Amino acid sequence: MGKGEADLVIGEGRALTAHALRATVLRELHARPFAPAQPPRRMLHAAFLLDVGGAQADRAAVAALCTARGLPAPAPGAKYHHVSFGGAELRWESHAEFCTYTWDLPATAIAPGGLPFQPPAVVLASPFGEVPQPGPLLVAVDLHLVPDTAEDFFLEQVFDRASLARADVNDGFAEIATDFKADPSGFVRILVRDRGLGPDAAGALVQRLLEIETYRTLSLLGLPEAQRLAPAVARIEQRLAGAATEMTSTKGLSDNNRLLDELVALAAELEAGATASLFRFGASRAYMEIVRLRLATIREMPVPGFPTWQQFLDRRMAPAMRTCFALEERQEKIAQKLANAADLLRTRVDVELEQQNRDLLTSMNERTRLQLRLQRTVEGLSVAAISYYVVSLIHHLAQGLHESGVDAATLGVHLDVGLVTAISVPLAILGVWSVVRRIRSAHGDSD
């Protein structure tokens, strides 16, 4: 990228610094220019799906072909390349999930009474063998650009009359015809009758017609995906209805947890399918919009007795597209209903858990009260038992002193053992009760 592309010179040696992507964005508008076309010409166009990393390998194959012929190779990162191979022209394009090869070949004028698309495409398709096939073939078009004459070319001999779509386009300066069916060589035939378009307008029309066929086919890739997912979505929807009915009669935490687990599993399965189809349905929607815009650009006018391309595609493609978009919308609605049902069950489970917790706390409080009563009873018995042992010790002590005569000799008084024991009873009880109370108070302070 040169400096002139990056910066904007404003004079006096000064320049405005451009955004890093400015040049890329500007070049994108000119990435795929129209190639002038002068009838008679044959265009063999093919589109191949690419897997991960396939775009790099495809670009390398095109570069190797050009280098082997002494021709300029596509620049690194280029998505479009146009080279001449003698009398043939190759236009290569790389897209997000596919690439296209268009071989522009000279053709001879159609003899009076002759038919277009002669020789057959299979005879002219050898240039496609010049490069390795980059991926599965999805689109193959044989477009014949011819000058308009009074001959109708006996179109019923070339196309299937039941599917033939014809229209005047570009304000009547051309006519287009196709039956959207593959010929014996596997190519979809498109006939363009030039009534004075000029090379530039003819080249633009040819490219738009090739894009219509390419994107029309790509958009229909969503239909097999929708058909694959439809049974699973229907099963999930049916089970959701059954689960919603069960929710009205289930009781107990175990039943609600079972239903909740089932709804979560259904939601995960639905989300997996929706995620897998997200790109495909989005691409189908985008490709269909491109087809609609290209058809609007060529400005079709009906040919009496035949549907236009727009009318034919609306009748044949619209149901397929509606199937894709209806399934996508159905997935979204079911996902929302699953989320709502799961939220209701979670609420019910939470309420039941709170009730269980409340009952558990009530039971624990009751047990605590019983334990407190038991503790007080034990404390009372402990005070009585300890007091009994203390009084017994005092009784034995007094009796021992009395029997040994120590009381009269030492104390100078007669020691009445019964009286001493009687006096010690309340004192012992009071002392033991005081000690137990201090111990309980100390434990309470430590807690």
DSSP for 377-388 reads HHHHHHHHHHHH
* pLDDT given at position 446: 45
CB atoms within 10 A of CB 97: 16
The residue among 424 and 117 whose pLDDT is bigger is 117
CA-nearest of 220, 205, 382 to 295 is 205
What integer pLDDT is reported at residue 407 of this predicted model? 59
User: How confident is the model over 189-209, as pLDDT tens digits?
Assistant: 999 999 988 999 999 999 999
Q: Are 338 and 260 in contact (CB under 8 A)?
A: no
Q: What is the CA radius of gyration of the chain?
A: 47
Structure tokens given for 24: 């890329």
3-class secondary-structure state, position 231: helix
The tokens describing 307, both together, are 């549907």
pTM of the model: 0.74
**Could you write out the three-class secondary structure of 285-324?**
HHHHHHHHHHHHHHCCEECCCCCCHHHHHHHHHHHHHHHH
- Give the pLDDT confidence score for residue 8 in this predicted structure: 66
Question: Hey, which bits of 107-239 come out as E strands?
Answer: 137-147, 165-169, 174-182, 188-194
pLDDT tier at 88 (50, 70, 90 boundaries)?
confident
261 versus 359: the higher-pLDDT residue is 261
What contacts 107, CB < 8 A, 6 or more positions away?
40, 41, 42, 144, 145, 146
Q: Would you call 22 helix, strand, or coil by DSSP? A: helix
Instruction: Give the SS3 label for residue 412.
Output: coil
pLDDT at site 222: 92
In tens, the pLDDT along 311-357 reads 999 988 889 999 999 999 999 999 898 888 888 878 777 777 777 78
Tens of pLDDT, residues 263-294? 888 889 888 888 888 899 999 999 999 999 99
Query: Bridge-partner residues for 16, per DSSP?
Result: 8
Q: What is the mean pLDDT of residues 241-258?
A: 79
**At which residue do the structure tokens 């000029």 appear?**
198
Given a contact cutoff of 8 angstroms between Cβ atoms, the answer to whether 183 and 206 are in contact is no
- pLDDT tens for 217-237 read 999 999 999 999 999 999 998
pLDDT category of residue 421 using cuts at 50, 70 and 90: confident
* Residue 406 banded pLDDT, cuts 50, 70, 90: low
Per-residue pLDDT band at 11 (split at 50, 70, 90): low
348-394 per-position pLDDT tens digit: 777 777 777 887 888 888 888 888 777 777 777 777 778 778 878 88
